[in-house]
Amino acid sequence: MRPFIVLFALSLASGSAASTDGLSSMSLEDLLRVEVAGASRYAQPLSEAPSAVSIVAAEDIRRFGFRTLAESLQSVRGVYATNDRAYSYLGIRGFGRPGDYNSRILLLVDGDRRNDTIYDQAMVGHEGPVEMDWVKRVEFVPGPSSAIYGGNALFGIVNAVLWSGTDLEGSRVTAEAGSAGMARLGLLAGRGIKTGGQAGDWTVGLSVYRKRGGDVHFPEFVGVGGGDGIARGLDGERYAKAFAKLNLGGWHTSIALSSRHKDVPTAYFSTDFNAPGNFTLDQHAYADIGHAATLSENLTRDVRLHVGTYRYDGEYVFLSSSSVVGRDEARAQWWGAEYRLTWTGLEGHKLLLGAEAQRNGRVDQRYFDLSPRTNHLDSRHRGSSVGFFVQDEWRFAPRWMTNLGLRADRITNFGTALSPRAALIHHPIPEASMKLIHGRAFRPPNAYERFYHDGNNTQKPSAGLRPERIATTELAADMAVTPTLRLGASVYRYRMRNLVEQITDPADGLLVFVNQSPIHARGAELEAEAMLTGGWRLRGSIAAQRTHQDSGGEPANSPRRLSKLLADGPLFDTGWAFGLNLQSIGSRLSANGSRVPAHVAGNLVLRQGEAAKGGEWSVGLYNLSGRRHLDPSSSEHVQNALPQDGRQIRVRWESALQ
Amino acid sequence: MFLSRLLLWLCYGVLGTAGLSSAVFAEVAPEAEVKAAVVFNLLSFIQWPIGWQPTSRSLHLCTFEASSIERELSRHSGKPVHGLFLVIRRIAGSAEELEQCQAVFVESANPSALARAAATASSQPLLVVGEGAWALERGAMIGVSLVSGRVALDVDTVALRRSRLVASSKLLRLARTLIE
């Protein structure tokens, strides 16, 4: 019985929170025995993923004034962002299918999935549940990661790591104003907690945003209704977002809410041009609670329960053509559980075992005319998924490491999918590393692709869709040639099967989703970072890729060249710093096969170098040239390409309070 | 004996899973405080080359970014290490700045800084401490990471020697991973 008594005594004592003074008087040996408080102790940071991870650090977010996740990811090699004035989309290594709602990218916030269960959408613009001010760093893992994360992780994972209370120890208030009647207010606050035998922290964030929106000129609509092709005052946007998280003892809990309303000026889906009333509304709510515990010296366990809801409303004005306003409503609710064990009992190994189960209790899509009310679609579904995964990280020789992972997913209606990944990592000298990675991933067609239709007016149901599959191989190297010059390079090959894409069925002229013939991509990326004298820093990357479809031709929105140049540093002795960010993107095809020209776009941000009393000011000029660049459009647009914002200014004030 | 160990293990498992016992070890402290204390402590176990003197009476531990660990590290500034006063200094990472540092601590968020610090260390004695399980793979001599809820040290003695630094045998004993 002795073990029981010892155990209960220890449980009741429940440890004492060591003070900093207590810690600094401890020996190194004793320090290595102190148990670390908080949930982060069990999470494997994504930055340790076996891949060529790119990181947008907190300093970069400030230096370059990134306003959304999409904008920050655009600084990453091989990544490009597009916008259709409703949502932001990411293209990765030549894959950026117009109108795919980012369903092939996994969005994580503090390591937790944020794709919804209808469109599988990774929302990386203002529509998403994340506010840029809350983000401490953005981690981007290119390539498939289904071996750990299951579906959607085909082209990459975006993980937004939020600031925590121990980072903040106080609050930050921000106010912004800018072009097109933009105004934004934000609050972020948090502190460490030490009570009794426990330690942890709390964090809260709030943000409200409003943009009146300017006029947008679409040459395709010149003459429509005798007009000049300008959609006037139909580009407005507003959102409100909130989050809170608490870590205490082994427990962690969080909640996040967001609502975004966007007017859509593009007359998509054949709606009336220059008519008010076309909008999209996206609302998210997430909550989770988890507990992490050390079961033995080498074994830790993390368990987490989560719930989420997503709501989409969209209205489409057809008053001039058919005297109706159509309304889309999508409602999703899901809940699930995750269980993870990490074992480090065998020398050189780190073994991860996990199980996940999710129930999609509500997957509803409706489409109807508002007045008179006529139902066209009323689709109600449920489903569930279970996944098991195992990963071993093994240092098998000095400077050599392997990472082997395998995940099995069972999803309603789609049977079992296996996703393996293998990586070999070698670092011959401390300042250089090489990685060889092979991975496979899958994505089951989402509820939108499977069930959405508008009563066979323009779109019919898509039966018999098979899951998409991708296999990739990548070789990546990274080296600091000198203390001030770092070089990175990678070459890769992707092969994708069963790509789900919307086409017009020649038999009946209706839109339908089908599996496409295989797509192959090969590419190379080169990156350099140099520290110059005077505290200036220069970073640049070039990506070249070639994608072709077996059925022939070049896929849409697949630029062959992407170049980026970022420069930042102090502005001489003025006390101000600058961040210049230039992006060049090669020509691309739009969904209807017309060519969208290449362009270069640049942003410049000036900010006070040191936080002064009374707050820190920064001024951002976005799209320096003022030229309205074009992004390829998807099939629901009449336009071949959609104009982006012209020159914009943003003035930002931030004050930190202790 | 085997049975009692098995029982104990099972009990930890059951109670741990039930969430009754999140702290079976004596001390609990925030991650940043423990990591900062470990980094400060291990400076005493590193020997810089004889005849190599910093220009001032201080030992500069440089950091690249604002973080909770940096803030906790700065609580140790002014304390004596090898008879010198510890100075915590934030740098952008230029060559001139790195020349002034005797040690750097690089957050896991910043792998490119690790590689550049490693390149500096090939030409001057510079202790490169990195955060995260993969710190050694990215150029650190000493990695500070979390394993089973406690701080673990990984040490690459070859990288240390290349920078003419010597780690004490006690530090090597405490290392989880040791590259020799």
pLDDT, tens digit (0-9, with 9 covering 90-100), for A578-599: 999 999 999 999 888 889 999 9
CA nearest B45 in A: which residue?
A28
Q: Inform me whether the C-beta atom of residue B119 falls under 8 Å from chain A C-beta atoms.
A: yes
Give residue-wise pLDDT tens across range A274-292: 999 999 999 999 999 999 8
Q: CA B180, CA B172: separation in Å to the nearest integer?
A: 10
Q: Is A233 helix (H, G, I), strand (E, B) or coil?
A: coil
The answer for residues whose C-beta is within 8 angstroms of residue A537's C-beta and 6 or more apart is: A529, A530, A531, A567, A568, A569, B92, B93
Contact B114, B139 (CB under 8 A): yes
Question: Which amino acid appears at position A307 of this protein?
Answer: V
Q: Is A609 on the interface with B (CB under 8 A)?
A: no
CB contact under 8 A, B132 and A401: no
Q: Is A477 on the interface with B (CB under 8 A)?
A: no
pLDDT above 60: residue A253: yes
List the one residue out of A617, A544, A622 whose CA is nearest residue A575.
A617
User: Rounded CA gap, A566 and A491, in Å?
Assistant: 22
Residue B17, pLDDT above cutoff 80: no
Of B95, B148, B158, the CB nearest to A483: B95
Would you state the pLDDT for residue B141?
A: 95
For the entire predicted model, the pTM comes to 0.90
pLDDT category at B53 given cuts 50, 70, 90 is low
- The single-letter DSSP state of residue A457 is S
| pLDDT score for A98 | 86
Helix (H), strand (E) at residue A281? strand A279-296
Find out whether A101 and A549 touch, Cβ atoms under 8 Å: no
Look up residue B178 and give its amino acid: L
Q: What is the ipTM of this complex?
A: 0.84
Interval A62-74: pLDDT, tens:
999 999 999 999 9
Say whether A32 and B108 touch across the interface (CB within 8 A): no
- Beta strand B84-90 with B58-63 is parallel
Q: Are A74 and A63 in contact (CB under 8 A)?
A: no
To the nearest whole number, what is the mean pLDDT of chain A? 90
| Residue B98 reports pLDDT greater than 80 | yes
Cβ contact A430–B139 (<8 Å): yes
Pick from A263, A240, A136: nearest CA to A185: A240
Residue in chain A lying closest to B98 (CA): A483
A 225-284: CB under 8 A from B: 249-251
Dump pLDDT digits (tens) for A148-159.
888 888 999 999
B interface mutation test: which of A35, A289, A433, A539 has the most B CBs within 10 A?
A: A35
pLDDT at position A276: 93
CA distance B56 to chain A (A): 23
Question: Would you say residue B14 has pLDDT above 60?
Answer: no
Structure tokens at A333: 């609710």
β-pairing verdict for A349-369 and A400-411: unpaired
